[in-house]
Structure 1
Amino acid sequence: MVIGTYGGGKTHFLYSIREKAWGYNYISSYISLSPKETPFHKLELVYKAIVANLMYPQTPAELLSGYDRGIEAVIKTWYSQKYQELSAKLSDDAIRKELNSYASSLDSYESTSFRNAVKEAFLCLAEKKENDFTLILQWLKGENSQKNFLNNLGIFEEIDKSTAFRMIRSLIQWIREIGYSGLIMLMDEAEQTSSMTRKEKDTLLSNLRELIDACGHANVKNTMFFYAVPDESFLDGQTQIYVALRQRISGVFDTEINPRGVKIDLEKIPVEAVDMLAEIGRKLARIYEIAYNTPFKSDALEESIGNIANAAYEKKFEIGYKRLFVKSVINAFDILRSSEKLVSIERAREVVDANMH
């Protein structure tokens, strides 16, 4: 569980985890949880968000040119890689037979319907059955599709609140089988439970506990879940479900003392806050200089960044100071570019104050 105030760097932290995961050949899925579109107490909607945001490892150039995302992209890449592997050594007829044999030899997953769906989607690509592929993808995405058509393919289950966890576990099993290291799930900004009914909140907590408990089972191995929240207030309660959850997430992650801890508080990372902001500012300055073809004078730049960092940190008890710093330091660069004068501490405080509204 990742804890950080709004503007405290949760999303950036999750994106950094995604980049690290790609370096080890993990598929990732970043989803933004919201009370209306993706509430955690409705797992069937969470499943839909997960498969819609699956991303296999991609280079920075690929991300800038328009990245592939979603289970459809993963299936097409899976098929393309397998086809290229076989086409280097087999004739067209032999390729078709081998593709059919390969798809039929997929392991058993917790959901037979999910297994049959990814198998048949793969074969539809091999046989160029675009309409059938689309219908199967609708089911895999948690959308309504033609029931009779699906039943003929051995796809009998519906993706609803009773099957969503099973589908997520089957998704993980499939991802491992097709050559990836596993799945990294990044869930950002848990919904504020104050606006939820008691039943919805109990369901959310129950789902979270089930998710945590599932991490100890073999059918979700090579998988890591990051659940980013602004605070721990949603765990305030005296019933058994609250106690059980607090026990499960009480350990704070520390690489030396407690590497098995499950809680990361972004406000308590072992770095000097102002120094960290200044380092971020220097990196942003290099990007700004390239974007505007404007080299800064190093002394004025360094002092201006330091003043903005201190002014933003002074607001740490009022607002997410990291986001405030980023907004303010860009304004400072604008001032430096237009006037070439350093941003004094007084001017820095004015810039920061203006960005708080």
Structure 2
Amino acid sequence: MTTNIKPKEATAIINSLIGGVVPKIGVSHIAVGRNEEVNAFISALEDVKNGHSIMKFWIGDFGSGKSFMLHLLNTVALKQKFVIANADFTPENRLYSNDGKAVLLYSAIMNNLAIQTKPEGGALPILLQKWIESVLMKVSKDNQIPLTEITQEQNLPLVETQIMTTINELSDVGAFDFGSVIMKYYQGYIQNDENLKKYALKWLKGEYKTKTESRSELGIREIIDDHNYYDMLKNFCKLFTSIGYSGLMINLDEAINLYKIQNSGTREKNYEKVLTIYNDCLQGKVENLFFNIAGTKDFLENERRGLFSYNALKTRLQTNRFETQEIRDFAQPVIKLRPLNHNEIYVLLKNLQTIFNQNYQIESQVDDQDIKNFMEEIYNKPGAQEFLTPRQVTRDFLNILNLLRQNPTLNKDSLFKEVNVLDERQDMDLSYLDTIEEL
């Protein structure tokens, strides 16, 4: 798996994992133990391609691989010609609000739009360009105007009419403003007016704070806000599929930040928004849309603050009661990520050692037996069974490889003995939230 890794991917993997985060690229080279989940996801992608919509919840403990799983899904979806977007819930980003926090999440999604030729994000201008080109081709064909002449000033009314007609066909809500802004973008495109294009993109990404500002810079009286951003996401999904993409996949990580909302009414409104999106996807009210939300077991199952505190979600998201550790149901909306077993961790560390060697162009002095010795040391530490996560194992392993690379005379076995198991959940102890709510 790691023999054909690109230098850029190798560097990203090593640097990211040492830093305790998931690399944006190259994750397929370190994917182990998730074949069943990926195969089920590929099957779900086919359904979305065919016009269905799906919402999945990826649940696991801190450091168990939720974020990694979302990045792996990105790699698969991009190859299937999906437009993807990643965003994290934060104290300032959420699904529902009245003070701009929901539209901030929308802006993060729009800024992170990615396609296979631009996987790092920022693909909205490219996608708009492709859509406009498809409109120009239709106008050219319908009116028998050569493509080389279609952008001339005298043809602007024809193009604008077609833009509005097409947007009206695609959009359910906000079609007039949506189409008007895209026309502004087109005008900026043919007139080489970078400011007009910039203002149009600013509007489409939900970055106007007031209607006055939008009217002043763009001549548009409405803006994307906390209350209509979801409709705009659905509009964009239709626009992307109209130019040949399979659909739009949105990944939302760090859902624990919804659990941490202290105001119970606001938290419930956010869960109500989750329910709205879930129902839209499962009842066929939207097409070609795939939502993934990653969170902890508390975020899902805590009956005071989690999704299960909202009864309509609890009844929909409860685990298949016939499922066991050996018999898994990957078709259900909630996928619980099981811990990697020792054999899978060994394969992961072997792959990381190969990538490490390629990145630094060295021959590591750590062999297969050393990897086994390292695993034996760390898994026999007090608390390993309860607290040890793949993130901690890989980070410690790469830190040791780095020390040995820079200090070849160090004793490997001594370094292995110095590893400790940390309870990563200590930094995320949320029990105080329940206490606050009781008070």
Q: 1:47 and 2:106 equivalent? A: yes
Contact 2:115 2:123 in 1 (8 A): no
Q: How does 1:1-357 map to 2 (within 5 A)?
A: 1-35=57-91, 37-42=92-97, 43-58=102-117, 67-76=120-129, 78-79=131-132, 90=146, 92-94=148-150, 96=152, 97=155, 103-106=163-166, 107-110=169-172, 111-112=174-175, 113-144=177-208, 145-147=213-215, 150=218, 155-190=220-255, 191=257, 193-218=259-284, 220-233=286-299, 235-237=301-303, 242-251=310-319, 258-267=329-338, 273-296=341-364, 300-313=366-379, 315-316=383-384, 318-319=386-387, 321-337=389-405, 338-339=407-408, 343-344=412-413, 347-353=415-421
Measured after TM superposition, the shift of residue 229 of structure 1 is: 0.4
What CA deviation, in whole Å up to 9, does each residue of 1:320-346 have, x standing for no partner? 5111011111123235544478844x7
Secondary structure of the 1:187 match is strand
Displacement of 1:238 after TM fit? 7.3
Give 1:71 deviation, angstroms.
Answer: 2.6
SS at 2:364's partner residue? coil
Which segment is superposed worse, 245-254 or 195-204?
Answer: 245-254
Give the whole-Å Cα distance in 1 for the aligned partners of 2:353 and 2:409: 14
Q: CA deviation at 1:208?
A: 0.8
* Kept in 2: contact 1:29–1:51 (CA 8 A): yes
Task: Indicate if the aligned counterparts of 1:205 and 1:241 stay in contact, CA closer than 8 A.
Answer: no
Moved more, 254-263 or 196-205: 254-263
Most deviating of 326-335 and 114-123: 114-123
Which residue type is aligned with residue 149 of structure 2? D
Report the Cα offset of residue 228 of structure 1.
0.4
| CA distance 1:173–1:256, shift in 2 (3 Å) | farther
The question of whether the paired residues in 2 share the 8 Å contact of 1:8 and 1:320 is answered with no
TM-score by length of 1: 0.80
Answer yes or no: is the 8 Å Cα contact 1:24–1:181 preserved in 2: yes
Alpha-carbon contact 2:302-2:309 (below 8 Å) kept: no
How far does residue 281 in structure 1 lie from its aligned partner after superposition? 1.1
Amino acid at match of 2:242: E
Change in Cα spacing, 1:309 to 1:77, as seen in structure 2 (3 Å) is farther
SS of corresponding position for 1:215 = helix
**Runs (5+) with no aligned partner, structure 2:** 1-56, 427-439
**Paired residue secondary structure (1:208):** helix
> SS where residue 220 of structure 1 aligns?
coil
Question: Could you say if the C-alpha distance between residues 68 and 202 of structure 1 is closer, same or farther in structure 2, counting changes exceeding 3 Å?
Answer: closer
Give structure 1 stretches of 5+ with no counterpart. none
Question: In 2 relative to 1, CA 340–306 (structure 1 residues): closer, same or farther, beyond 3 Å?
Answer: farther
TM (norm. structure 2) is 0.67
Judged with a 3 Å threshold, the aligned counterparts in structure 2 of structure 1 residues 174 and 81 are, in CA distance, closer, same or farther, namely closer
Deviation of 1:355 after TM superposition, in Å, equals: 11
Q: CA RMSD in A?
A: 3.5
1:130 counterpart letter in structure 2:
E
SS at match of 1:21: helix
Tell me if the contact between 1:183 and 1:222 (Cα under 8 Å) persists in the aligned partners.
yes
CA contact (8 A) 1:9 1:323 kept: yes
